[in-house]
A and B are shown apart, each in its own frame.
Chain A
Amino acid sequence: MRSLRVRLFAILLLATGLIWLSAMAWIYLGSKHEVEQVLDNRLQEAARMVGSLVGTVGGRNPDGTQPTIPAPTAYERQLSCQIWSLDGRMVARSSGAPEQRLTDAPAGFSEREVDGEAWRVFTVEDSEKGIRVMVGDRLGRRQRLVTDLIMGLLTPALLVVPLLGMLIWASLGRGLSPLRRMARNLADRDADDMSAIDARQAPAEVRPLAEALNGLFLKVEAARRHEREVTAFAAHELRTPLAGLKTQAQVAMAAADPDVAKAALRQILAAVDRTTHLVRQLLDAARLDAAGEISPVTDVDVGVLIAEIVEGMRAPPGIRTVIDPGLRGFTMRADPESLRLAVRNLHENAVQHMRTGTVEWRARPGGRGIVVCDEGPGIPEEELSHVTKRFFRGRHKSATGSGLGLAITEMAAKRSGITLRLRNRTDRPGLQAEILWG
């Protein structure tokens, strides 16, 4: 059932109905027992009373007819009375009592069928008077008494149930109104309104929902703030090299000294290279952001991949790259594009932070990962956890870095199910970056 209201309504109505029915059954059984006891007592009393009223069996009326006992009118309808002599003659009977003997039992209660009707009879034997008094009533009548009682209770109940249903339905509507109010408030909100819902005013049952929503608002707000920051940083990172380009161009045009002009032109070239690199990194980061899912994973030859990347990037003179022969034929399951991004940015990062020295790529001892070591300044320990944040540029930042390289590496690694671990070298200054998988 989709509607909470319908669901609660059905549950409440069913429960109420069940309780009512069991109450009815209880009342039925209880009153039936009670009624039987009362009626049995009446039979007993009536039999004894009749017994005391009758004289010694004298036989017959003077006219020879059987005497009729004047029965009290109150009993006339329901009770029947017969008086038999001990030798089996009917002495008298009440009007309306059947002719047939009501019971064969000598004394006490008994039940029997007479003329197609079930009777309950109480017999009193009076040996002094030589009579047996039998008082009985029809069981059908008794049953009707109980049924009437139950019907008397059930009829108003049947009338009340629809009324109760309406009342439950209306109350549920009223009880659920805080939910509706919250929904209306949420629907009326502006798209960028991330203020918290007042959870204290919500009923206790709705409060967890309100609190969860507030939590969600906080998260969305944080994500938006992060996005704004990234955009602001991107603007900064793009505008600064553009400002450099423009300034250098103006210097080149205004300088009378050809050496100054030439130097400015060289700087322009460097700035264009840097900006190109930055734009590529921004696009890489945006692509990684957009593609949340991991693309199909295949076996990638890491040795070949690294060799390709190293060859494709002209490192400045003075920087040597060594690829451990152990990496040849070293394969791993990864998303090739992500792995390429991770390796390329790690390599660029290593090269950027060195004037001279060796960048070394090798397999991790024991497999399950690759390591790249550089001979740059390393990263101050307190910055190690921040360098994978976008646009973070620490104290040892390179002149040409954008603050995106390690962030892209981390994003690409995560996407490919790989772990990136950065640490400073212990044997000498430099950074050691590990790509781990499995």
Chain B
Amino acid sequence: MRILVVEDDPILSDGLRAGLSLSGATIDCVATCADADAALAASRFSAVVLDLMLPDGSGLEVLQSLRGRGDRTPVVLLTARDAVADRIAGLDGGADDYLGKPFDLDELSARIRAVVRRASGRAAAGLEHGGIRLDPGSLSVTVDGVPVTVSRRELMVLAALMERPNVLRSKSELEDRLYGWQDEVESNAVEVHIHNLRAKIGKHAIETVRGLGYRMRAPA
């Protein structure tokens, strides 16, 4: 899961980067409306955490232009103003959820997972495919009921594939999910993660379509 955090306070921004990374997401941080617009135009994110009061404008403007482009990336608003009118304006402006400062980090993670899940059209929190279960809340994977230990990056690759099991995911799409802008992308990282995953969850669980990408193999 790749999340864009738009927050101008450096300490909070840093806390969100560290905190949301703990729950297995890749985080990119920007501090202004202009940077947020640029980031949202350039990359695809699973979700956006958006502060309302930014130095060069209101987060609502970012939200408006995002929705104006027809982009349905889920957005969770963060704000220090908790007047009902503000909340209504935010939700009517196209936000998916709303959290007043100060908030609980775990609650924010849960809300982000919820809006991402809703956006992908799933009702259940967990992902399941042919005996493999992935719980994004506890970051745990079980195969036929047996827990399997996977690394954070492996989990992200698996989650990306399991979200839409029949859809092909290209290598660059997966890299996008795995790495923020600051991360150094190793050229064969995705292949390594897939290889490791196959060793852990089953040799034939993931199918390679040469030159196109990867997808979950349909259960027999």
> Contact between B81 and A241 (Cβ–Cβ < 8 Å)?
no
> Contact between A263 and B80 (Cβ–Cβ < 8 Å)?
no
- Contacting residue for B81 out of A232, A245, A397, CB 8 A: A232
Complex: chain B residue closest to A234, CB-CB: B80
> Contact between B16 and A247 (Cβ–Cβ < 8 Å)?
yes
Complex: chain A residue closest to B102, CB-CB: A243
Q: Give Cα A239–Cα B86 distance, bound, in whole angstroms.
A: 16
A43 within 8 Å of B (CB atoms): no
Q: Give Cα A209–Cα B55 distance, bound, in whole angstroms.
A: 43
* Chain B contacts to A: CB under 8 angstroms: 9-12, 14-16, 18-19, 22, 51, 53, 55-56, 78-81, 83, 100-106
- Chain A 356-411 residues near chain B, CB threshold 8 A: 393-395, 397, 399
Complex: chain B residue closest to A248, CB-CB: B15
**Assuming A236-B53, A260-B18, is B11 touching A246 (CB within 8 A)?**
no
Count how many pairs of residues, one from A and one from B, have CB atoms less than 8 Å apart in the complex: 86
10 additional A-B pairs beyond A242-B102, A395-B56, A399-B10, beta carbons within 8 Å, are A236-B81, A241-B12, A243-B9, A243-B78, A243-B101, A244-B15, A246-B105, A251-B15, A393-B55, A395-B55
Interface range on chain A (Cβ under 8 Å from partner): 20 to 34
> Contact between B105 and A247 (Cβ–Cβ < 8 Å)?
yes
Determine how close the nearest CB of chain A comes to the CB of B111; give it in whole angstroms.
14
Q: Give Cα A242–Cα B58 distance, bound, in whole angstroms.
A: 20
> Contact between B80 and A239 (Cβ–Cβ < 8 Å)?
yes
Q: Give Cα A243–Cα B51 distance, bound, in whole angstroms.
A: 12
Contacts of B10 in A (CB 8 A): 399
Q: Give Cα A237–Cα B79 distance, bound, in whole angstroms.
A: 11
Closest 6 CB pairs of A and B: A247-B15, A244-B12, A244-B11, A236-B80, A239-B80, A243-B102
Q: Give Cα A250–Cα B106 distance, bound, in whole angstroms.
A: 8
Contacts of A237 in B (CB 8 A): 80
> Contact between B55 and A251 (Cβ–Cβ < 8 Å)?
no
A8 within 8 Å of B (CB atoms): no
> Contact between A243 and B12 (Cβ–Cβ < 8 Å)?
yes
Determine how close the nearest CB of chain A comes to the CB of B16; give it in whole angstroms.
6
> Contact between B11 and A270 (Cβ–Cβ < 8 Å)?
yes
A276 within 8 Å of B (CB atoms): no
Q: Give Cα A264–Cα B17 distance, bound, in whole angstroms.
A: 11
**Assuming A240-B80, A397-B55, is B15 touching A264 (CB within 8 A)?**
yes
**Assuming A240-B80, A397-B55, is B9 touching A254 (CB within 8 A)?**
no
Interface digits, A233-273 against B, CB 8 Å rule (1 contact, 0 not)?
00111111111111110110011000010011001001100
Q: Give Cα A271–Cα B10 distance, bound, in whole angstroms.
A: 10
Q: Give Cα A251–Cα B21 distance, bound, in whole angstroms.
A: 10
Contacts of B106 in A (CB 8 A): 250
Complex: chain B residue closest to A275, CB-CB: B11
A42 within 8 Å of B (CB atoms): no
- Contacting residue for A245 out of B22, B100, B102, B104, CB 8 A: B102
